[in-house]
Amino acid sequence: MIVLKYTLYGYNNIGVKLKMIYDCAVIGAGPAGLSAAINLAQTNRSVVVFSTKEEDSSIYRAPEVNNYLGFHGVTGKELLQAFYDHAKKMGVEVVHKKVINFYKSGDIFTINANNEFFEAYSVILAIGTPKKTLLENEGEFVGQGISYCAVCDGMLYRGRTIAVIGEAIEAEEEAEYLSELAKKLYYIPLYKKNEFHFKDNVEVILSRPKGVYGEDFVNALELENRILNVDGIFIIRKTMPADQLIYGLEFAEDGHIKVDSKMQTSIEGLFAAGDCTGRPYQVAKAVGEGQIAGLSASTYVKMVKGKQK
């Protein structure tokens, strides 16, 4: 019988199908995330990598990379493809789903990826540069009319007027879902597209959003050329902000995730690597930190499993 190393499902002794617990879940499939995954696989750990589209990675859009050893003159797309090919040859599983949030209970992390749930003993955040707030006063209204997840909070706005700001075309799916609930929906794309096909209660506005206003709760969104009276605003980013992914995470004063020399964050079993931990925003730094995070996570998992015996 052939046993697959990275099978998602297993069976207990009475034949009931059970979802396996991964040794590590890596959130982000750029240089840091794939480096971490490769090193976890090298130490015989089961690993799953969560990725949106490859072109969402900042390195993908680089016309030329000249400062990564051994790859002079390569495009960012070619370099990222080489990383993906390497990970694939190592048996790394890549799941193309957006992680909405995750939490830790005991020794296990539960990851919500597009409302499909995965479990892992450890997690590595490799989510790229920290996202600055898009709107003036945005941080003041998170949970008070500002949301980053349509499925999580959409039901709160049934029959109301909302705005959806989309960083990428994938935001249209969440806008369509919200349009089924809202009385009126303003869709504000931050990407270029000529045609949009929504329900009649959706108005597409091609104007840059500037600020959000209200008293105890959101009541207005300021655009470059008008003010929208709204009951809520959904900002659909390519990746969720780190402080929305998990609570209790500590940040440095500059907004980067705080880590120690082993890339361990303030939460035991949660590591971070790459641009999200600080400058310089370079491929070599991301790959190096990914290696450290992967090996540190592997050591951590060994310790956790040792306690369980």
Which residue type occupies 251? F
Low pLDDT (below 70) residues in the chain: 1-18
Quote the pLDDT of residue 8.
43
Closest CA to 55 of 85, 32, 30: 30
Quote the pLDDT of residue 18.
45
Quote the pLDDT of residue 54.
76
Report, at the CATH architecture level, how domain 138-236 is classified: 3-Layer(bba) Sandwich (3.50)
- Who's near 105: CB < 8 A, 6+ residues apart? none
- Who's near 15: CB < 8 A, 6+ residues apart? none
Q: What is the dihedral of CA 31, 37, 38, 41, to 10 degrees?
A: 180
Tokens standing for residue 232: 């809520």
Cα-based distances in Å from 1 to 4, 5, 10: 10, 13, 14
Distance spanning both ends of the chain, measured CA to CA: 27
3-state helix, strand, coil in the chain (%, to 5): 30, 30, 45
Q: What is the value of pTM for the model shown? A: 0.84
Residue pointed to by tokens 């034949």: 15
Which residue type occupies 126? A
- For the domain 21-131+240-308, what is the CATH code? 3.50.50.60
User: What is the domain partition of the chain in residue ranges?
Assistant: 21-131+240-308, 138-236
Quote the pLDDT of residue 7.
36
Quote the pLDDT of residue 3.
29
Query: What pLDDT, in 10s, does the model give residues 71-100?
Result: 999 999 999 999 999 999 999 999 999 999
